[in-house]
Structure 1
Amino acid sequence: MPHTSARRRAVHRSLALGVAALAALAAAPSTPPKPLGIGDRLFPYLGNPGYDVLNYDIGLRYHGNDRPLDAVTTISARATAGLHRLNLDFTHGTVRSITVDGRRASFATADQDLVITPRSPLRSGDRFKVVVRHTSDPRGPARGGWVRTQDGLVMANQANAAHRVFPCNDHPSDKAGLTFRVTAPKDLTVVAGGHRLSRHRHGAQTTWVYRSGHPVATELAQLSIGRSTVVRHTGPGRVPLRDVVPTARRAELDPWLRRTPEQLSWLQHRLGRYPFENYGLLVAEASTGFELETQTLSLFEHDLFTTAKLPRWYVESVMLHELSHQWFGDSVSPRSWSDLWLNEGHASWYEALYAERVGGPSLEKRMRAAYGHSDAWRAQAGPPARLKAADPGHQVAIFQPVVYDGAALALYALRQEIGRPAFERLEREWVRRHRDGTAGTADFIRLASRTAGRDLSGFLRPWLYGTKTPPMPGHPDWKPTAEDTAAGTPKPE
């Protein structure tokens, strides 16, 4: 996810909660509506049981970033259980009407859930379509979702804020197709993740349609509305590159945009072909304090590229961090939020390798420093694969140093244990095997063991789940002795 400004920067289903949730959905509609979840350990009420989303089609009409957008969200899904009711995650908007398969449905709100009662119950295996007519409000406290820029809007939905923008099954384990249909004043440019299908001008308005070519987790959806220029070029392997930048800033940003082809080539050499239809940087004139790996169109603060005190190697390594997420986190998404280390640890690993290449500290120096802080990080936030839950209302606090350099440290230990050739084979096979899907920590341990030709669970589990940092193979002199004064600073990504 994003780097904080300091750094510039599932499903672990609970059986009891899952059974109770499905029972509630199958219950007679006379029972009071209540919020449900899929039992994610860190976000118990995120996501919804009983169905699998196949596609989102989201229509929006923009009136300015200080007014609610008019919206129609169409969800195509398949029931995985018999449903008298179904829940969607949604808040921070007004629902006007809902239909299920073309028939008017009743609805109620329960905490941050929208509870829908169809005219007729859904049977397991049924495909169905829900149409929600609503507003989407960009105003209010900055808790994720819409981000207001100087001239429009962008999205930052990680970790659990997509449902502040549109009704959805807001959990990365339920990836789906995604189409945006956006109408805005004709002097504005609209860009979303995926391919542009059409642009049609009608009077003073223009309607833009974009569709993703691959499944998308709701937290990775991206849409930009503003006075922007789209800069197009071609990357290695003929990957289309398109950057979205403030029109007035294009010239000063161009040298940074030109770094992407070399970075893409560097990662493809290590991980195999780029997993999506295109890539680009979305540079926003807004103060976010982070950068974000939204699918095919990574979000960056303008200040990252213009703050003079930031060394060039650092800025380039942050760009590389978000690009590497297209493999780790976007193409291969976490099955639960406890698997976040698979995203951030890998992105931090390749960031560290690349920083060494472009003038930053050596990998070994960075890993030794992380080892010194590791016990303090674990005490503060939990081990990499078993984070402590964040306080309600501050969910981005799960993005702690232990899932960044702390998790990269575990990958370094694994490379030390099995050797560089086996480690590099593992990395390529991981992103190939789970492309366009979800995977968890247990999957990684199994594949690492298969790649190494021996059971690595006894080695990896202490690194991923232990409260204390294990000895580092090859470095018996490394000691986790440093007190980490920034251990409580979240690194939202």
Structure 2
Amino acid sequence: MLLTPHLPAPRPRRRKAAAALLASAVSVCLVAASAPAVPLGVGDRLFPYLGNPGYDVAAYDLAFRYPGTNSKPLQAVTTIDARATADLEHVNLDFAHGTVSSVEVDGDPAAFRTAGEDLVITPGDAVSAGDFMRITVRHTSDPVAPDGREGGWVRTADGLAMANQADAAHLVFPCNDHPSDKALFTIRVTAPDGHTAVANGLPAGVDRSGTTTTWTYRTRHPMATELAQVSIGRSTVLHRSGPHGLPVRDVVPTRHRAALEPWLKKTPGQIAWMEGKAGRYPFETYGLLVADATTGFELETQTLSLFERQLFTDPAYPAWYVESIMVHELAHQWFGDSVSPRTWSDLWLNEGHATWYEALYAEEKAGEPIQARMKAAYGASDGWRASGGPPAAPKAPERGEKIGIFRPNVYDGAALVLYALRQEIGRPAFERLERAWVGHHRDGTATTADFIRLASEVAGRDLGGFLHGWLYGEKTPPMPGHPDWKSGGAAVKAAGDGTGGRGR
């Protein structure tokens, strides 16, 4: 789905009845009170109730007002510009952790109810297929997570950050929370003096009023909801240049700025390294958001990857490992962010590639052989497939553990698929495929079938049979060039496994 930043203004729709012109918010709610409200979804195999059919979001405008403490809800307004792809009497949004005070559709009050984790909106008039609509929701956004639920706002030592993967953006704001529906974002954050707010994309204005400041950011490329990022804290924003003059900005706790600088200054060189592998960096800016929080992972939020401070300050982590994890999240900007998965079963395309470049960087920069890592992964692969499913058909997460899809089978298990493919078609063809993949699908979404099709095209022969076993087989196929490699049944982690409790 390719969109431009300039959207047509919503067209006024013909009223079905003149009485609708006089309906107040109260009367609209009363009229719609008896309408059925049911949760919907786009039919994702792993998350059947994520996303919603019938419309395509073009842009989000998110406005948050931070109260100065990360233990109280933020006041928020979410505005969604979308095009209806079907006739709609109701519009479902994903939203599960906040209080909605009002909803408008094209400026008119609309009725709303909740159903499961959906906010079900009933406009005064049905929306016709092809029409643009503007939905405005006034709501709270609660940083205190629901019991047992992970994701959404992350409370840091001095404020907030976001970690919305895989299904938690709708804990923060109403949205179509599925990566198949990417959109442009404008994000505005108002916070008291002493705080700094940063979000995806580039700055688009700073407004100071009394004792508060409002920061505005805009993306130039469409983004999946799971990749949204907002940082609010007592932070310093550091600026430097990357390849081709790319603006690189890092957001760090002010008191840890000096300790983090030796790591942050490595980013421009890492971007140049990745450009040598996958082509030009796909977005308008990049940088690291280093959070004073314990998350157990790093996250590839678009243009501003989230990292735990502990990764850079814990002496137990070797320098080569820290740098390779930095590259893991950077590689996601191409694989997962610019080219996003059409369904969550296509997750291996994100994590397999990020793990691949993480391992390749460790080999080239630190002498950590990728073949040894892949051999270890091969030995564990049958066990990973048994416990988590094959890379392209992962088992559904357990109830209440939705990040459970981030298992070794989609990290080193998926990188093993790429290694086997390189063994099969040769390094030159594999490297052409990688560049072609991100070039063909930039700013869009893609599937496993798309990858198999393009790999076959680049190789000049049908690779469907070869890749099917690697991607969907219950057992790991023989490794080309390594007939002596054996896969046992133990579900152990490969040495240096990029899951390592860290990178997603």
TM range (shorter): over 0.9
Matched, 1:49 2:53: yes
1:457 equivalent in structure 2: 464
Alignment of 1:214-293 (within 5 A): 214-293=221-300
User: How much does 1:187 deviate?
Assistant: 1.1
User: How much does 1:358 deviate?
Assistant: 2.5
Matched, 1:205 2:212: yes
Which residue type is aligned with residue 388 of structure 2?
Answer: A
Give the counterpart of 1:110 among 111, 115, 118. 115
User: How much does 1:482 deviate?
Assistant: 5.4
Which residue type is aligned with residue 235 of structure 1?
Answer: G
Which residue type is aligned with residue 193 of structure 1?
Answer: N
Which residue type is aligned with residue 115 of structure 1?
Answer: V
User: How much does 1:391 deviate?
Assistant: 1.4
Tell me the SS of whatever aligns to 2:124: coil
2:311 equivalent in structure 1: 304
**Separation in structure 1 between the aligned mates of residue 51 and residue 491 of structure 2, nearest angstrom:** 34
How many residues end up aligned between the 2 structures?
A: 467
**Separation in structure 2 between the aligned mates of residue 55 and residue 235 of structure 1, nearest angstrom:** 28
Give the counterpart of 2:433 among 405, 415, 426. 426
| TM-score, normalisation: structure 2 | 0.91
C-alpha offsets along residues 361-382 of structure 1, whole Å, 9 cap, x if unaligned?
Answer: 2010000000000000000000
**Separation in structure 1 between the aligned mates of residue 133 and residue 451 of structure 2, nearest angstrom:** 34
Tell me the SS of whatever aligns to 1:75: strand
2:386 equivalent in structure 1: 379
User: How much does 1:186 deviate?
Assistant: 1.9
Gap change, CA 1:489 and 1:356, over 3 Å in 2 = closer
1:22 equivalent in structure 2: none
**Separation in structure 2 between the aligned mates of residue 153 and residue 62 of structure 1, nearest angstrom:** 9
**Separation in structure 1 between the aligned mates of residue 62 and residue 306 of structure 2, nearest angstrom:** 20
User: How much does 1:357 deviate?
Assistant: 1.9
**Separation in structure 1 between the aligned mates of residue 321 and residue 345 of structure 2, nearest angstrom:** 28
CA contact (8 A) 1:397 1:492 kept: no
Give the counterpart of 1:129 among 134, 137, 158. 134
CA contact (8 A) 2:298 2:502 kept: no
1:79 equivalent in structure 2: 84
User: How much does 1:29 deviate?
Assistant: 8.5
Question: What 5-or-longer segments of structure 1 have no aligned partner?
Answer: 1-9, 11-27
**Separation in structure 2 between the aligned mates of residue 360 and residue 65 of structure 1, nearest angstrom:** 43
Matched, 1:472 2:476: no
**Separation in structure 2 between the aligned mates of residue 40 and residue 131 of structure 1, nearest angstrom:** 26
CA contact (8 A) 1:396 1:490 kept: no
**Separation in structure 1 between the aligned mates of residue 225 and residue 273 of structure 2, nearest angstrom:** 28
Matched, 1:438 2:440: no
1:335 equivalent in structure 2: 342
CA contact (8 A) 1:396 1:492 kept: no
CA contact (8 A) 1:29 1:117 kept: no
Matched, 1:324 2:328: no
> In terms of mean alpha carbon deviation, does 54-63 or 137-146 score higher?
137-146
**Separation in structure 2 between the aligned mates of residue 482 and residue 119 of structure 1, nearest angstrom:** 59
CA contact (8 A) 1:375 1:468 kept: yes
**Separation in structure 1 between the aligned mates of residue 363 and residue 491 of structure 2, nearest angstrom:** 23
**Separation in structure 2 between the aligned mates of residue 41 and residue 492 of structure 1, nearest angstrom:** 24
**Separation in structure 2 between the aligned mates of residue 258 and residue 379 of structure 1, nearest angstrom:** 42
CA contact (8 A) 1:158 1:219 kept: yes
Alignment of 1:78-227 (within 5 A): 78-140=83-145, 141=147, 143-227=150-234
Matched, 1:391 2:398: yes
Question: What 5-or-longer segments of structure 2 have no aligned partner?
Answer: 2-31
User: How much does 1:211 deviate?
Assistant: 0.5
**Separation in structure 2 between the aligned mates of residue 486 and residue 269 of structure 1, nearest angstrom:** 29
**Separation in structure 2 between the aligned mates of residue 330 and residue 433 of structure 1, nearest angstrom:** 14
Which residue type is aligned with residue 88 of structure 2?
Answer: L
CA contact (8 A) 2:162 2:230 kept: yes
Say which structure, 1 or 2, has more relative contact order (CA 8 Å, 6+ apart): 1
Tell me the SS of whatever aligns to 1:122: coil
User: How much does 1:392 deviate?
Assistant: 2.2
> In terms of mean alpha carbon deviation, does 64-73 or 480-489 score higher?
480-489
C-alpha offsets along residues 17-40 of structure 1, whole Å, 9 cap, x if unaligned?
Answer: xxxxxxxxxxx9854211000000
Of all paired residues, the percent bearing the same amino acid is 66
Which residue type is aligned with residue 173 of structure 1?
Answer: S
- Cα RMSD of the aligned pairs, angstroms, is 1.5
Alignment of 1:336-415 (within 5 A): 336-359=343-366, 361-415=368-422
Which residue type is aligned with residue 85 of structure 1?
Answer: H
Give the counterpart of 1:70 among 40, 65, 75. 75
User: How much does 1:484 deviate?
Assistant: 2.3
Tell me the SS of whatever aligns to 2:486: coil
